[in-house]
A and B are shown apart, each in its own frame.
Chain A
Amino acid sequence: MRQASKPEQARAATQHWWRQRLTALSLLPLTIWFILGLAQLPQLTYSGFLDWIRTPLNAITLGIFMLLGLFHAVMGLEVIIEDYVHHPVLRAGALKTIRLVLVLTEAAAVLSILKLSLPDAS
């Protein structure tokens, strides 16, 4: 396996640092919005939920929250993996796995929001 050079590693680390902070900042208002919604979710009937998600602003905000949130979450998990998984092959495998999970979950989130908010799309 090829090892990244020091300049590459430095660049990647700085990028990771900035992306973590920028997503965190963007997520501040979004998280407040999400928490308010999540707390009220149990009171929402199915038709109430559909009405909610068919409001374009809600669907879009939820989509952005999901994409930024998942990205921020996986970046955090990467750091945790790097800190605690010492075996190089296990660490590389865990990192690749969590990134794959990220892509799949993001796709699932976007697709389900689209399908729920646009009922006429088949």
Chain B
Amino acid sequence: MPQRPISPHLQVYRLPFTAVLSIFHRITGALLSFGLILLVALLLSALLGEHTYEWIRGLLASIPGQVLLWGYIFALVFHTCHGVRHLIWDSLRGLERGTLFRHNLIELVAAFLATALLFVFTQGLVGGSA
């Protein structure tokens, strides 16, 4: 198909914040999907015995491993919080402009707070992370 020129759109339009959250929902969804497949691979590797398990655990305890793990957890928490809004919208509620604005804030605060609390809570359980 011939490539016809189109006007700039994303480069020039300032997206409403709801739209920004929406694309993040999609991005986290895609990343979480691949992460989930990786987690299944991790599960499979547990079958290979304690040595493999401890090796992976060591990777997870490293700085990049922790960044990856908590990045994944935040993505999952965010995706869930925004997903709840989709379910609310599916019941045809919360579509008014004021409500959208309020829910944007609530959703973000909830996602950050939940992840932060979980981080503090789990690190406090066993005297700091490995």
A residues neighboring B (CB under 8 Å)? 21, 24-25, 28, 31-32, 34-36, 38-44, 46, 49, 66, 69-70, 73-74, 76-77, 80, 101, 105, 108-109, 112-113, 115-116
Tell me whether A24 and B46 are in contact (CB under 8 A).
Answer: no
Tell me if B86 and A24 are in contact (CB < 8 A).
yes
B113-130 interface with A by 8 A CB criterion? 118-119, 121-122, 125-126, 129-130
Residues of chain B within 8 A (CB-CB) of A105 are: 36-37, 40
Distance, CA A32 to CA B117, complexed state (A): 13
Residues of B within 8 A of A109 (CB): 40, 43
Q: Does B29 contact A (CB under 8 A)?
A: yes
Q: Is the interface of A mostly helix, strand, loop or mixed?
A: helix
Report how far A21 CA is from B90 CA in the complex, Å: 9
CA gap between A25 and B83 in the complex, in Å: 9
Sort chain B's interface into a size bin: 35 or more
Other A-B pairs, 18, CB within 8 Å; known A44-B57, A66-B40, A70-B37:
A31-B76, A35-B73, A40-B125, A42-B69, A43-B129, A46-B46, A70-B40, A73-B29, A73-B32, A73-B33, A80-B30, A101-B37, A105-B36, A108-B40, A108-B43, A109-B43, A112-B40, A112-B47
Min CB distance, A77 to chain B, in Å?
A: 5
Do the beta carbons of B46 and A49 come within 8 Å of each other? yes
- Interface pairs (6), CB distance under 8 Å: A21-B90, A25-B87, A38-B72, A38-B73, A39-B118, A116-B46
Does B77 interact with chain A (Cβ within 8 Å)? Answer: yes
The answer to whether A76 touches B37, judged by C-beta atoms less than 8 angstroms apart, is no
Are B46 and A77 in contact (CB-based, < 8 A)?
Answer: no
